[in-house]
Amino acid sequence: MTDMTDKAKIKFRLNLNARIIGVISALVLTFAIFTALEPAFISIDNLLEVGVQSAIIAFVALGLTFVIVTGGIDISVGAIVGLTAVICATNLEHWGTALTIVIGIAIGTALGAFNGVVSAIFNVQSFVVTLATLNLFRGLAFLYTDGRPLYNLDEGFRDFFSANLGDIPKPILFLAGFAILCFIILNRSRLGLHFKAIGTNMDAARRSGVSTRATQIAAFALGGALAGIAALMLMSRIGAAEPVSGTGFELQAIAAVVVGGTSLMGGRASIVGTVLGAILLGSIANGLTLLNVNAFVQLVVTGVIVLGAVLTDRLATRTKNGR
């Protein structure tokens, strides 16, 4: 039994490493193509801009990694970003920077946990739950502001997230720090082990003594917390917030997660892969923008990447199962 388990682990790591190598190869190819078409793409300033652009989606994607590895999905993360952003932007002047950050993360955590509670306690498919809360949270954001955008956010708040620390933009440093934290949670903690266990086999995990409902809720809460941080970073980057903030983030985040090697079937995930996937998507978007390609084409490209990643994941799963 031990030999079989060890072999399964080795095979899992080899498959995951192959996916990460694939993402790195795609990044190299992307950089080569865009540099050939537009030499400014490889400049230090533009590479830092790619990092900053990728950071916000990467935070959402890191949160989704915890949800997806449990076998769930959260398509309301973009709406969580929007609702958190407008609440925090409305009260920023009264709360101040520090309290706004704390409350922003708390709001994201609460909204994510709400998704987890409804899905786990009532045994409803997370896709159905978050499809409903996507509209619920987005509608609340519009009601909260009467549909009006909020501008001219406090410069001190913006500097906390968006200024440079030395020559490096803070969003890149924040992403590096939280990616390490997420890696530790997923791969070096009991909670991360439970995430993978229920994603691999819910019944077996339950029989092993794992509190599956609490673990599912924790995954969604973590996803919401990271979406809350993404909302704060988005506010600081553009200096504004509006009810439609975060629209489309769920598609980009899912793309980053799946491209990075996390299985939509659950049980297998890579924090490093997720970050690389977000950078790949950010690089493609940046390169297309430099080439003045229509923004709608970028949506098509993202959709093709998601479809390709999902098909690759399904083929890998069938091959592993011998089908």
pTM to 2 decimal places? 0.91
Beta-bridge partner residues of 165: 168
**Residue 2, pLDDT score:** 47
- pLDDT by position in tens, the chain (length 323): 445 455 555 555 555 577 788 888 889 999 999 999 999 999 999 999 999 999 999 999 999 999 999 999 999 999 999 999 999 999 999 999 999 999 999 999 999 999 999 999 999 999 999 999 999 999 999 999 999 999 989 999 999 998 899 889 999 999 999 999 999 999 999 999 999 999 999 999 999 999 999 999 999 999 999 999 999 999 999 999 999 999 999 989 998 998 898 988 898 899 999 999 999 999 999 999 999 988 788 778 877 877 877 777 667 656 555 55
Structure tokens at 284: 């493609």
Q: Which residues pair with 164 in a beta bridge?
A: 169
Residue position matching structure tokens 């980009």: 252
What secondary structure does DSSP assign to 84-127, as a single string?
A: HHHHHHHHHHHHHHHHHHHHHHHHHHHHHHHHHHHHHHTT--HH
Radius of gyration of the chain (CA): 20
- d(CA 84, CA 200) in angstroms, rounded, equals 32
Q: How many residues does the chain have?
A: 323
Q: If DSSP codes are grouped into helix, strand and coil, which group holds residue 154?
A: coil
The amino acid that residue 270 corresponds to is: S
* 6 Cβ contact list (under 8 Å, min separation 6): none
Looking from the CA of 232 toward its CB, the CA atoms found within 13 Å total 30
* DSSP-based three-state secondary structure for 106: helix
Contact 156, 253 (CB under 8 A): no
Please give the pLDDT value at position 4.
42
CB 79 within 8 A of CB 248: no
